Structure 1
Amino acid sequence: MRFLLLIVVSLVFLEFTSSRLLGDDVGKWDRWEHSFTASDKTPESADVSVTLTSPSGKIFQRRTFWDGGRTWKVRFKPDEIGIWKFSTSSDAYYSGLSNQSGNFRCVQNTGQTIFQQHGPIEVSTNGRYLQHADGTPFFWLADTAWNGALLSDEKDWDSYLSDRQAKHFTAIQLVTTQWRTAYKNQEGQVAYEGREAIQIHPEFFKRLDARIDAVNQHNLLAAPVMLWALGDESYTPGKLPTDQAIKLAKYIEARYGGNDVLWFLGGDENYSGQRAEHWKAIGKAVFANRHHAPVTLHPQGMQWHFDSFTNEKWLDVLIYQSGHGDSDAALSWIHSGPPSKLWQNDPPRPIINSEPPYEGHIAYNSKKPHPAYNVRRAAYWSLLNAPTAGVSYGAHGVWSWETKPNTPQNHGGSGIANPWNEAINLPGSTDMGYLARLFTSLDWWKLRPANDVVKSPNGKQRPAEHISAARSDNGNLFVAYLPVGGEVVLDTSKIARVKNFFWFDPRTGKRNAADAKRPGQFQAPDQQDWVLVGEAN
């Protein structure tokens, strides 16, 4: 009896010891976090890396980040079930940080978010769109809340995210430091101080942790801008000296690399000349030769400076900003500009308009607020001018997180914005939900520009009346956007497998059968904007 009791006690002790050595279990694709305690004399700039080895022997490198006091942390998202090993290394010896090692166990994930079920976001194997780690296509429909994570409280942030989740948005664009429209966060904190030798403030980022975690918990991808570039150098991280910009970007990547993110390395920048070299150096230092979430650059309006970045392997996605104009030139740039002409260049990358006109924002040319129609028109054109990957939306008052009617800071020409909790109800946001429901009901990732299918109108119409069209390579799916209704005549020989057509109302989300007057000839229900969809069955 004593012998049996000894065996039981030994097994319990071994199980307890094993669990202590392994630490808490972490679900596949969940965030693993480990803390290290340094000696009192460790500088906050201590450069400590963690090497992680998967059960199958794959090697991953992660950086630690200083979390204040004597605490350093590492965050990582494991992608294999089994026992993982980790060990630390550093450029100099730091007691409590250097030469540390351990294990943890990755188990089956039982979480309910799309990221827990399908994995983090990556670029598809053909380079044309985003997908989850398990291969499930990810349709990018981002809302713009540049100031949201900085100026909101937790309750308001949750209310906002719940609204966007209900309207079928899939991502949130946000800024992670002080910038031209928010010199400080709601509590008066800044992400860093200084210029030639910056001091990073962990307390600022501890507050941001909860906001970015909440984004993911609402089934939304976080799209953080690491280094906004437009504005006075006193509050613009993108204008820090290159070495200090690298330091700040490394910190942000280390802190949020365990979340579900797509990185905007730079924001509102002209990526040409010497500025291009500045950003290449940052991108390589932060992302080259290591596993990371997809990375992009957010440029200034109606600019395309990506030719000099063609061979930058760390740059995964091409983001552009069509901007807030409404002139003929601005409209033509969206449907017939560089994205429509250069998408075939190698290597293939997803192409996304991350800043079409914001709803309610004063248009540059007419000086009138952009209505929902302008927003819809830009969104559908943007989805069809290159291989479909997604599009972003912005509401004036939400992007700058106004709490009362106000003109956003340093944006005098944009007009008075409504408070964010009113601006979330602008009709264009609901229209974006209809857009998402339409495209996610189709094999949208197979669409390629196909304006040659449209025989009439013949391309001589005004820029505002341009019909954009796309089809799948095998010809069994067709989508066309008619901004002013009317008649369209199609070359059905180029979509021979398409047999059934319907009209989609982008204002209500309703579908109606589309009957051809003659083969390939369709008349929209009225002179408003409509989407014509053709399928094989």
Structure 2
Amino acid sequence: MKRINSSLSAITAGFLLMLCCDTSAPAADNAVEQWTRFEDSLTSTKDYGNPVQDVKVKVEFTSPNGDKRTVLAFWDEGMRWRVRFSPDRLGGWTYKTSCSDKANKGLHNQTGLFQCRKYQGDLSLFRHGELRLSDSRRYIEHTDGTPFFFLSDTVWCGPLLSDIDDWNVFLKDRVAKEFTAIQFVMTQWRMAKTDAEGNLTFTGKERVAVNPAFFQRLDRYVDAINNSGLVAVPVLLWAIRGNDNPGYFLPEDQKIALAEYMIARYGAHQVIWFLGGDGKYSGEGGNTWHRVGRAVFHKDQHRLATMHPGGKSWVGREFRNEPWFSFVGYQSGHGDDEKTFRWLNQGPPATEWNNKPNLPVINIEPNYEAHNGYTHRKVHNDHSVRRAAYWSLLVSPPAGVTYGGQGIWGWHTKVQAPADHISTGLGSPWHVAKDLPGAFSMKYLHQFFKSIEWWELVPAPELLAQQPGRKDASKFIAAARSKAGDLAVAYLPEGGSVTLKTESLRKGLAARWYHPRTGGWLDAGKIEKSPQTFKTADRNDWILLVKEK
């Protein structure tokens, strides 16, 4: 079995330095760093008409302590197949292939070995290890126990439509703005019928045939996300009604075939999977997705997965007990009316987060900035973006939130309305839209949560002596506190005052106002009595933080 990087020892030292941050392949001495990607190639002895349908290749990896994990290899054009794997233990690994066509000597019974070494780079994504659920199952953490704050940007069309140089500029900007993840669609869909080079993801319906050229191009974009220290969050099968969306028009077995291929190809990257995108997942439709999820996800993959539902739909009840379903993702959507606000701050995200079994709850599509509101047709600004984000983070135990900006999610190169979404309004080119005010607000949001032990917070509406959101949902104050009573947070969307019932908080805790538009702080005194009122400096949105100095 030939290693694909066996020629690296002959490459100049200068080029090796250029590759130092690449996490996509092992070094020439048959070693790979922990949590990065081992890759090997296989050469088939047979030419199949439709390899994805005609043959399956499993690869069993055995760790230094004897644990076994099995993943699928994937076809990569012609007679070439590849296998990718992310090792989680230091030391010597071995692997062996098993092909459904046992007569294929190039794919069946092939063996190899490699060494897994400690990661030596600076990216926290790899220093702390792959992602998993915390012991409390309320938030995501790294393998070493470091909490991971999910702060994702929505770039649905970015990898499909962007130039690779532009893509790297964009990712550098998102790192600077302290995002931790990038959401995108991994196949052709209603917004991008092909990639920028005219490649289809696949052809056919009853028996899909994948196009390796599409994925060979996409490899560089997914690699770039991880090499920037960001988690890749792809939608595998966009599922809204329409024959351009594979999650809608493909039959169940072909949904499985296509998703299996993508998971085999990118499952060794640091990813969180969205199995379906924007679909309806209740009733028999939900049962279909249950079966698809069970078919394509399994424990050996070590990756989190959820569903991306349509607007104001809650899939916690339908999917919470699925073995592959890692957290409740929901879309509060782009409405600008009382009903939408109330659904978010007093509906399922606020009332069903405590259902069992425990799972993180994350708003993976709140209103996009510079996008028209659905009811009043007013453009969502940075304030409405912050309001939805902070509500989302405090009405359920905080685990993360997603941002979206018009011009970014559709990857505009000029001022235009997104294809097939004319009513959402005009968006700026991506290189302008990347600096919308709300994107900077996300940086300050992350800085605020990094300053506290956010994973200790649980919703605490009982802290409030009055809740203005009962009469007007747009004025809803979201409050949370730690069970120990040494930390409390309240978000005021329109400033003014908030009165806290402080009996559950420790006396003498310091209070400060956080300015979510600039990241600045103002002193607000300390906890002295109950109830106690705190007033903002103006009528803009503010965050009250109560904790020890």
User: TM exceeds 0.5?
Assistant: yes
Instruction: Decide which of 77, 81, 84 is 2:93's aligned counterpart.
Output: 84
Q: Compute the displacement of 1:459 (Å).
A: 5.1
Q: Compute the displacement of 1:90 (Å).
A: 2.5
Aligned positions of 1:181-260 closer than 5 A: 181-260=191-270
Q: Is the 8 A contact 1:356 1:375 kept in 2?
A: yes
Give the counterpart letter for 1:40 in structure 2.
K
Q: Compute the displacement of 1:192 (Å).
A: 0.5
- d(CA) in 2 for partners of 1:460 and 1:78? 51
Instruction: Decide which of 352, 355, 360 is 2:362's aligned counterpart.
Output: 352
Q: Compute the displacement of 1:435 (Å).
A: 0.3
Aligned positions of 1:239-318 closer than 5 A: 239-318=249-328
Give the counterpart letter for 1:88 in structure 2.
T
Aligned positions of 1:481-492 closer than 5 A: 481-492=491-502
1:55 aligns with 2:61: no
Q: Is the 8 A contact 2:74 2:265 kept in 1?
A: yes
Q: Is the 8 A contact 2:47 2:78 kept in 1?
A: no
- d(CA) in 2 for partners of 1:498 and 1:246? 57
Q: Compute the displacement of 1:89 (Å).
A: 1.2
Q: Is the 8 A contact 2:164 2:221 kept in 1?
A: yes
Secondary structure in 1 aligned to 2:165? helix
Per-residue displacement from partner, 1:428-465 (whole Å, max 9, x unpaired)? 00011000000011101111000110113465341111
The equivalent of 1:414 in structure 2 is 424
- d(CA) in 2 for partners of 1:500 and 1:448? 19
Give the counterpart letter for 1:533 in structure 2.
L
Are the structure 2 counterparts of residues 258 and 439 from structure 1 closer, same or farther at C-alpha, using a change threshold of 3 Å?
same
The equivalent of 1:493 in structure 2 is 503
- d(CA) in 1 for partners of 2:46 and 2:538? 73
- d(CA) in 2 for partners of 1:498 and 1:96? 71
- d(CA) in 1 for partners of 2:455 and 2:36? 26
Q: Compute the displacement of 1:406 (Å).
A: 1.1
- d(CA) in 2 for partners of 1:476 and 1:388? 17
Secondary structure in 1 aligned to 2:237? strand
- d(CA) in 1 for partners of 2:65 and 2:508? 46
Please identify, of 342-351 and 110-119, the stretch whose mean Cα deviation from structure 2 is larger: 110-119
The equivalent of 1:7 in structure 2 is none
Could you tell me the TM-score, scaled by structure 2's length? 0.92
Per-residue displacement from partner, 1:404-437 (whole Å, max 9, x unpaired)? 1111111121011111111111100001100000
Q: Is the 8 A contact 2:488 2:545 kept in 1?
A: yes
Secondary structure in 2 aligned to 1:156? helix
Per-residue displacement from partner, 1:273-328 (whole Å, max 9, x unpaired)? 11101111110000135333100100000001331223211001110000000100
- d(CA) in 2 for partners of 1:140 and 1:498? 32
Q: Is the 8 A contact 1:270 1:305 kept in 2?
A: no
Give the counterpart letter for 1:327 in structure 2.
D
The equivalent of 1:503 in structure 2 is 513
- d(CA) in 2 for partners of 1:66 and 1:473? 51
The equivalent of 1:529 in structure 2 is 541
- d(CA) in 2 for partners of 1:125 and 1:42? 46
Are the structure 2 counterparts of residues 491 and 420 from structure 1 closer, same or farther at C-alpha, using a change threshold of 3 Å?
same
Q: Is the 8 A contact 2:161 2:196 kept in 1?
A: yes
Per-residue displacement from partner, 1:133-189 (whole Å, max 9, x unpaired)? 111100011000000000001110011111111001110001100011111110011
Instruction: Decide which of 35, 41, 45 is 1:39's aligned counterpart.
Output: 45
Q: Compute the displacement of 1:369 (Å).
A: 0.9
Q: Is the 8 A contact 2:247 2:277 kept in 1?
A: no
Q: Which runs of no fewer than 5 residues in structure 2 stay unpaired?
A: 1-25
- d(CA) in 1 for partners of 2:248 and 2:536? 47
Q: Is the 8 A contact 2:267 2:301 kept in 1?
A: no
Q: CA RMSD in A?
A: 1.6
Q: Compute the displacement of 1:79 (Å).
A: 1.1
Please identify, of 477-486 and 452-461, the stretch whose mean Cα deviation from structure 2 is larger: 452-461
The equivalent of 1:5 in structure 2 is none
Please identify, of 306-315 and 514-523, the stretch whose mean Cα deviation from structure 2 is larger: 514-523
Q: Is the 8 A contact 2:39 2:83 kept in 1?
A: yes
Q: Compute the displacement of 1:23 (Å).
A: 5.8
Secondary structure in 2 aligned to 1:514? strand
Q: Is the 8 A contact 2:513 2:536 kept in 1?
A: yes
Could you tell me the TM-score, scaled by structure 1's length? 0.94
The equivalent of 1:72 in structure 2 is 81
The equivalent of 2:8 in structure 1 is none
Instruction: Decide which of 112, 115, 122 is 1:112's aligned counterpart.
Output: 122
- d(CA) in 1 for partners of 2:455 and 2:245? 39
